[in-house]
């Protein structure tokens, strides 16, 4: 016969649905806590309890240390007394001593009761959380306990409760107290008050779980559910496929006379469910997802800037059916297939195709053989608009063929001109230019290195062993290769592993001490001066400028039509050209020149007339670094453009070119005078 303790113990285990070990640990911990508080046991001292389930007797054990002389009886025990309990006890051993009191006090008993209740409650919450965590994403049955504007509270088992928020309810569904309903476990949260269970009846996966419960083929794996799209309370679409030959996946889910799908629909308050067959071909899948008797054509565009788009053409009388009420059918089909779906009627699509060809004639090159059907399509659309008769099968095929060909042509043309390809080509050009610049810089650096430097080994330089090792590891074998990197820049040497600023200075000093130095690059931009003062002329390399100079060398195109040029006698082969001072015109008259007199009628006052001191037979043309502005009212910009105007003179007898810069001065008699600097 079991004792009263055993009966009470079993009752607690059944009431809380907890294992015997969990309840026993809770009671033992409560007794140890009660003893620790009643007898003021230090927190560092170990206290444990043991209960005999048959008799219900409890024992309290306290850990004490064996010593020769006891100073504190609460934490120590003498060696003599310890050997009475254990024969081989030694000084320094730790022993668990039975200190069970005859009776607990009222405070200790109350403490034990509170601790037991708290431990049992915590164990129950943990057990509930673990149990419902395993049921997450599954369907359970709950009883409506209360209904509020914020949600519905469901009673699950014993003391467990679940919450169904307003957003997870089926729109328009009414709930009655004590009504049993199926719900989908959406989430289980751990809170201080216990697990919080969130359930739903509008989640798309609930439809999947109901199909698994009602359809044995789905439950056994013979039929696979690929996708579910649902708008709770109104309509849903399910895409299924058979994993075993000989099974009709749609018929298995619908059932004989629709009995299986009707059961699920009644569970979901009359929600309409379309079961379609899954296909790996996007066009076939989209056609099935629309649930229409016939679809004229489907064109998929995976690289559309707005996302993956499928353009669907249906019959005019089925356009509203394809779109659905408030676009619901097209919206659910898009969710099911994960494609953006554009739906057009047959007439609208035909007019669109003709309009695209008219606006972009280049599409005819891509259409090729299909272009011959365009006149036939125009005739079909015109007769249909006049007589309003249904399209025949041949006319539907013509519309579908042309529309699909035009869409493919537009996609092909866009792919050839899409911004990504332009950017890719720009990146390739930039990369090629960078590579060419790198090769050119390397060649220029190679040209600056003395040839004998390549015959000198790195060991001949006064380098430390560490720097020498780093250079050899970097692939450098002689002084010439080091000087190549020096010619490119300091970064070329600093990129080597182990070469820093100090090592770079050491390398430069060692190369300098060896007597080697980089050759200076040839200065190709300097032009030999003809006069006493040297002038550097920068000549542009643009082809357009060279053509302009070539045209300017023609005498008749340079001189103004109204100017009367008085050519001086032919100058000797090597004329001496003296710098013209600003003193007066007498010095100019003594010099043999080809003078171009100033003509006020031919040129505005702001632009000085062309007057240069040049050799006989020279060809004169103007070169302005900044273009003049021809618009009125911009005198400031016009004068700014003329500040750097200069005259280029070409002597065909000597083959030399002179640059004449004009300076404006004022003579004593008030007339303007221009002097030229060569």
pLDDT in tens, 473-497: 888 888 888 888 888 777 788 888 8
Q: Please write the tens of the pLDDT for every residue from 647-656.
A: 555 565 555 6
According to DSSP, residue 244 is labeled: S
Task: Measure the CA angle with vertex 288, ends 282 and 289; round to 5°.
Answer: 85
Tokens matching residue 549:
């100079």
Rounded CA gap, 331 and 81, in Å? 86
pLDDT band at 365 (very low <50, low <70, confident <90, very high): confident
Q: Higher-confidence residue: 520 or 64?
A: 64
Strand boundaries in 457-600, DSSP class E: 566-567, 594-595
Q: Which residues is 153 bridged to in the sheet? A: 146, 163
Region 159-172: what's the mean pLDDT?
Answer: 91
Rounded average pLDDT over 599-627: 43
Highest mean pLDDT among 81-85, 252-256, 513-517: 252-256
Architecture of domain 290-417: 2-Layer Sandwich (3.30)
Binned at pLDDT 50, 70 and 90, residue 162 comes out as very high
**Residue 649 or residue 549, greater confidence:** 649
What gap in Å lies between CA 550 and CA 527, rounded to an integer? 19
Half-sphere exposure of 285 (CA within 13 A, CB side): 24
pLDDT higher for 38 or 28? 28
Q: For 45-65, how does the pLDDT look when each residue is reduced to its tens digit (9 = 90+)? A: 888 888 887 777 888 888 888
**CATH entry 3.30.1360.120 includes domain 4-126:** no
Q: Is the pLDDT of residue 311 over 60?
A: yes
Which residue ranges make up each domain of the chain? 4-126, 135-202, 290-417, 442-513, 543-677
pLDDT digits (tens, 9 = 90+) for 380-404: 999 988 888 888 999 999 999 999 9
- Residues 442-513: name the CATH superfamily: 5' to 3' exonuclease, C-terminal subdomain (1.10.150.20)
Q: How confident is the model at residue 604 (pLDDT cuts 50, 70, 90)?
A: very low
Higher pLDDT, 286 or 541: 286
- In sequence order, what are the beta bridge partners of 492? none
Partners of 142 in the beta sheet? 181
Per DSSP, 457 falls in state: B
pLDDT at 297 over 80: yes
| Matching fold, domains 4-126 and 442-513 | no
Which 3 state secondary structure label does DSSP give 373?
A: helix
CA 470 to chain centre: 40
Alpha carbon distance 194, 179 (integer Å): 25
The residue among 76 and 380 whose pLDDT is bigger is 380
Q: Does the domain spanning 135-202 belong to CATH 3.40.109.10? A: no
Q: Where are the alpha helices (DSSP H) in 135-222?
A: 204-214, 216-220
Give which of 144, 328, 156, 327 is closest to 230, Cα–Cα: 328
Lowest mean pLDDT among 77-81, 259-263, 368-372, 584-588: 584-588
- What 8-state DSSP symbol labels residue 609? P
Task: Report the pLDDT value the prediction gives residue 141, as an integer from 0 to 100.
Answer: 93
Q: What are phi and psi of 362, to 5 degrees?
A: -60, -20
**Least confident among 263-277, 288-302, 575-589, 632-646:** 575-589
Looking at 103-117, 400-414, 545-559, 653-667, which range is the least confident one? 545-559
In whole angstroms, give the CA distance from residue 316 to residue 320: 8
Range 540-556 average pLDDT: 43
Query: How confident is the model over 369-380, as a mean pLDDT?
Result: 90
């Amino acid at each position: 016969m079991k004792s009263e303790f055993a009966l009470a113990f079993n009752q607690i285990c059944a009431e809380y649905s907890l294992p015997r070990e969990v309840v026993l640990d809770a009671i033992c911990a409560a007794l140890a806590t009660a003893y620790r508080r009643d007898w003021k046991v230090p927190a560092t001292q170990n206290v444990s309890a043991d209960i005999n389930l048959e008799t219900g007797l409890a024992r309290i054990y306290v850990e004490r240390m064996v010593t020769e002389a006891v100073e504190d009886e609460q934490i120590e025990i003498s060696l003599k007394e310890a050997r009475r309990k254990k024969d081989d006890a030694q000084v320094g051993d730790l022993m668990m001593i039975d200190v069970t009191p005859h009776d607990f006090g009222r405070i200790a008993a109350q403490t034990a009761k509170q601790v037991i209740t708290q431990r049992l409650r915590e164990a129950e919450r943990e057990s509930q959380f673990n149990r419902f965590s395993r049921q997450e994403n599954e369907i359970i049955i709950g009883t409506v306990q209360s209904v509020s504007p914020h949600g519905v509270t469901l009673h699950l088992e014993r003391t467990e409760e679940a919450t169904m928020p307003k957003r997870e309810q089926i729109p328009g569904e009414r709930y009655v107290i004590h009504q049993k309903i199926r719900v989908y476990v959406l989430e289980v949260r751990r809170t201080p008050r216990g697990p919080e269970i969130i359930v739903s009846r509008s989640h798309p996966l609930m439809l999947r779980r109901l199909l698994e419960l009602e359809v044995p083929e789905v439950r056994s794996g013979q039929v696979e559910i690929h996708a579910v799209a649902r708008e709770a309370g109104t309509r849903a679409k399910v895409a299924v496929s058979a994993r075993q030959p000989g099974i009709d996946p749609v018929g298995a889910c619908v059932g004989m006379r629709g009995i299986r799908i009707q059961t699920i629909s009644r569970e979901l308050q009359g929600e309409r469910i379309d079961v379609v067959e899954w296909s790996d071909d996007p066009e076939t899948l989209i056609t099935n997802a629309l649930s229409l008797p016939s679809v004229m054509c489907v064109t998929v565009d995976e690289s559309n800037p707005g996302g993956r788009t499928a353009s669907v053409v249906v019959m005019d009388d089925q356009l509203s059916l394809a779109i659905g009420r408030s676009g619901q059918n097209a919206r659910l089909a898009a969710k099911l297939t994960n494609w953006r779906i554009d739906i057009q009627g047959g007439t609208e699509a035909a007019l669109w195709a003709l309009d695209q060809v008219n606006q972009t004639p280049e599409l005819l090159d891509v259409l090729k053989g299909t272009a011959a059907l365009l006149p036939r399509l125009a005739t079909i659309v015109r007769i249909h608009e006049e007589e309003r008769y249904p399209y025949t099968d041949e006319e539907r095929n013509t519309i579908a063929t042309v529309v699909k060909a035009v869409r493919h042509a537009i996609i092909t043309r866009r792919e050839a001109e899409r911004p990504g390809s332009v950017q890719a080509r720009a990146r390739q050009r930039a990369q090629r230019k960078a590579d060419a610049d790198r090769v050119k810089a390397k060649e220029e650096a190679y040209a600056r290195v003395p040839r004998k430097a390549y015959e000198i080994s790195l060991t001949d330089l006064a380098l430390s062993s560490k720097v020498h090792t780093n250079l050899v590891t970097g692939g450098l074998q002689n002084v010439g290769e080091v000087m190549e990197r020096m010619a490119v820049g300091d970064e070329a040497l600093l990129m080597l592993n182990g070469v820093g600023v100090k090592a770079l200075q050491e390398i430069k000093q060692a190369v300098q001490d060896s007597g080697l130095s980089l050759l200076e690059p040839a200065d190709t931009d300097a032009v030999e001066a003809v006069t006493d003062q040297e002038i550097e002329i920068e000549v542009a390399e643009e082809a357009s400028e060279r053509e302009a100079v070539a045209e300017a060398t023609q005498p008749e195109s340079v001189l103004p039509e109204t100017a009367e040029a008085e050519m001086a006698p032919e100058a000797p082969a090597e004329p001496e050209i003296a710098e013209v001072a600003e003193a007066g015109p007498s010095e100019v008259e003594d010099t043999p020149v080809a003078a171009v007199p100033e003509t006020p009628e031919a040129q505005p006052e702001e632009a000085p007339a062309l007057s240069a001191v040049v050799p006989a037979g020279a060809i004169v043309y103007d070169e302005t670094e900044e273009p003049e502005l021809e618009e009125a009212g911009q005198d400031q910009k016009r004068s700014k453009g003329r500040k750097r105007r200069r005259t280029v003179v070409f002597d065909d007898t000597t083959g030399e070119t002179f640059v004449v810069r004009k300076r404006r001065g004022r003579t004593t008699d008030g007339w303007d005078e221009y002097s030229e600097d060569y």
